[in-house]
Structure 1
Amino acid sequence: MRVFALSDLHVDYPDNARWLRSLSAQDYREDLLILAGDLTHRRPLLAWCLGEFVRHFATVLFVPGNHDLWVVGEAAPKTSLDKFAEVAATAFECGVSMKPHLAGRTWFAPLLGWYDYSFGEPGEELRRSWSDFVACRWPPGYEPAQVCAHFLSMNALEVPRGVERVISFSHFLPRIDLVPPYVPARHRMLDPVLGSAGLDAQLRRLGSGLHVYGHSHINRSVRIDGVDYVNNAFGYPNEDAIAAKRLLCIGEV
């Protein structure tokens, strides 16, 4: 069984949805796909997208991203925690797993998360422009640090006996040095909302040797302190320079 990785498909864009429709119906029937978040905040479109992947792959594993938890146009008191439960229900109905998965002696560990400003404090420009601050709605008392802690607490951190390899995956970045050095300084204002160091602590506790992440829209594969980190974001239609816009095979199990 081959293992493929993809994130940030954003099927709200017709070009991206068209790519999904064009996938071969035969080439991946015995393979596993890791979907590392940011498909769409629209539930009918999410169901269609996940259903398409289930038609093409033997196993589909998923963690939501920040866009998936937007409640734009949805009335209060619905919160983004309610939206998470809705997304999880949709995934289950489509036959997509958001839980740890054992394939042979390889354990796939989904790591939920958010950003908690462990990569830096947001400046005023970021506070004014970051869409999550408007598009997400949290219960009273929930700031990003509380949101992140809530999701981190949901992650399974005990590896079953007999497992020989752990592959983990998250939407958010587990460490800030995954941002490539060539990223212009003007874009580094986004650092605070990229992820959480708590994710790296968790994946290392699990003994993960390979971690798939998304969110940054920058395709990258790098080894840091014994762990291989891979980002294969599809990205927005105009992001051809930083996203390969293809499925990426990251190994076999």
Structure 2
Amino acid sequence: MNIRAISDLHLASPANRDALQELPFYPDDWLILAGDVAERFDHVRLAFATLTEKFAKVFWVPGNHDLWAIPEEGGKGPALVGEERYRALVDLARAYGVVTPEDPFEVWTGPGGPCAIAPLFLLYDYSFRPDHIGRHEVVAWAREQNSVCADEMFLNPAPFESREAWCQRRCDEAEARLSALPEGMETILVNHFPMREDLIRIPRAPRFSPWCGTRRTEDWHRRFNARVVISGHIHIRRTDWRHGTRFEEVSLGYPRQWDQERGMAPYLRTILGEEADIQEPASALR
């Protein structure tokens, strides 16, 4: 029994869809799917249908690509946007028994447990930027190094007045739910976007960080007793440690970013369980 995690399947790519179908069965394992499954509902549906057949339980949080206002194939009607799109994705997930950020936290009692798995949808508020760059300057600042996120065109925050306002609401709700956990309960925090600014290092897009999270979650791993924090989004797979907490970036990515000959299975990260054997290095930040 294991908890495994992956993100950024980007199923618009035929190669990624083929790899999904060829993924082996893990009938005793739980899977955390940390966002950016696909832009189209039919591809998200394919992921949920396939993964719930291959794993005992599946958890999902949305990424920015999942929320893009992209018309479905055939252009039937206007694309869903913002909160309406998110709620439609939640309904789709629940139709397959997938656990979402709107559902009660599940507790893992297998090897390494107990741990409450907390799927979060927190978005970002442009606060991951240098202190001397104002909010009104951030897009122009990023554009100087070709680092502007396509969310500026495709991620509509309606009915909220801004992505920042949506982020604030999501953080308020998540903070309240996490604060209500039993005292001493360890957690696995799952969010598509990194939860600490110091984990963002993207050489190919050095000024992309404003679209990567919020400073508000800087200490959540300590406040909410996190054993592991899982994220995707930046397409740089890595393990980091902060104050005794393991931070896992679990992206698959676009076809050029992973070895197609190996398939998808080697990119599943073991978070807890019988196969987990990850020791905190002596050099970890405490």
8 A Cα contact 2:126 2:164, kept in partner: yes
Give 1:170's aligned residue.
Answer: 191
Q: 1:53/1:140 Cα in 2 relative to 1: closer, same or farther (>3 Å)? A: closer
8 A Cα contact 2:8 2:35, kept in partner: yes
- TM-score, normalization: structure 2? 0.79
**The one of 204, 218, 229 aligned to 1:211:** 229
Q: 1:77/1:24 Cα in 2 relative to 1: closer, same or farther (>3 Å)? A: closer
Shift of 1:119: 0.7
Shift of 1:113: 1.0
Q: Does 1:193 align with 2:211?
A: yes
Shift of 1:79: 2.7
Q: 1:83/1:239 Cα in 2 relative to 1: closer, same or farther (>3 Å)? A: same
Q: Distance in 2 between matches of 1:24 and 1:139?
A: 39
- TM-score, normalization: structure 1? 0.88
Q: 1:179/1:160 Cα in 2 relative to 1: closer, same or farther (>3 Å)? A: closer
Q: Distance in 1 between matches of 2:40 and 2:49?
A: 14
Q: Distance in 2 between matches of 1:159 and 1:150?
A: 17
Q: 1:225/1:16 Cα in 2 relative to 1: closer, same or farther (>3 Å)? A: same
Give 2:155's aligned residue.
Answer: 136
Q: Does 1:237 align with 2:255?
A: yes
Larger Rg: 2
Unaligned runs of 5+ in 1: none
Q: 1:141/1:251 Cα in 2 relative to 1: closer, same or farther (>3 Å)? A: closer
Secondary structure at 1:192's aligned position in 2?
helix
- Which amino acid counterpart does residue 146 of structure 1 have in structure 2? A
Q: Deviations over 1:84-134 (max 9, x none)?
A: 000000000011001321122221111211111111152316468421111
**CA root-mean-square deviation:** 2.3
**The one of 76, 95, 109 aligned to 2:118:** 109
Q: 1:106/1:88 Cα in 2 relative to 1: closer, same or farther (>3 Å)? A: same
Q: Distance in 2 between matches of 1:82 and 1:76?
A: 12
Q: Distance in 2 between matches of 1:107 and 1:140?
A: 31
Q: Does 1:91 align with 2:93?
A: yes
Q: Distance in 2 between matches of 1:147 and 1:89?
A: 19
Shift of 1:48: 1.3
Q: Deviations over 1:198-249 (max 9, x none)?
A: 23333432111210111011001010122110011000111139xx952111
The count of aligned residue pairs is: 246
8 A Cα contact 1:107 1:163, kept in partner: no
Q: 1:132/1:159 Cα in 2 relative to 1: closer, same or farther (>3 Å)? A: same
Q: 1:70/1:230 Cα in 2 relative to 1: closer, same or farther (>3 Å)? A: same
